[in-house]
C-alpha cells in the first residue's frame, strides 16, 4: 500500500515537473512549481525525514513561490 502511494507520488512529481517546463504561461509555471515542492515534501516524509519535510514545505513551497510571484509582478507590470 505504501509502495503504491509512493509510486503515485513520484508519478505526480515527474508529471508536474514536465508541465512546469512545457507550459507557455509564466504565472502558471510558478504555481505548478509549488505543487512539485509540496509533493517533494510528502516524499521526504516517506523517506523518514520529517525535519527536511517541514523545511521544504515552508521554504520550498511557501517563500520561493512568494518571491517568484513578487518578481513576476515587478517584471510584467510595465507591459
Q: How many residues bind other proteins (CB under 8 A)?
A: 45
Among 1, 35, 42, 62, binds other proteins (CB under 8 A): 62
| Min dist. Cβ of residue 27 to other proteins (A) | 10
Contacts of 33 (CB under 8 A, 6+ apart): 20, 64, 65, 68
Q: Is 42 in the site for other proteins (CB under 8 A)?
A: no
Long-range contacts of 34-41 (CB under 8 A, 24+ apart): 34/61, 34/64, 34/65, 37/61, 37/64, 37/65, 39/9, 39/12, 39/13, 40/13
Which residues of the chain form contacts with other proteins (CB under 8 A)? Answer: 2-3, 6-7, 10, 13-14, 17-18, 20-21, 26, 29-30, 33, 36-37, 40, 43-44, 46-56, 58-60, 62-64, 66-68, 70-72, 74-75
Amino acid at each position: 500500500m505504501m509502495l503504491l502511494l509512493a509510486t503515485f507520488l513520484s508519478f505526480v512529481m515527474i508529471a508536474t515537473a514536465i508541465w512546469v517546463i512545457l507550459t507557455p504561461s509564466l504565472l502558471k509555471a510558478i504555481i505548478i512549481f509549488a505543487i512539485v515542492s509540496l509533493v517533494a515534501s510528502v516524499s521526504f516524509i516517506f523517506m523518514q525525514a520529517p525535519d527536511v519535510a517541514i523545511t521544504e514545505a515552508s521554504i520550498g513551497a511557501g517563500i520561493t513561490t512568494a518571491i517568484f510571484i513578487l518578481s513576476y509582478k515587478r517584471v510584467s507590470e510595465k507591459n
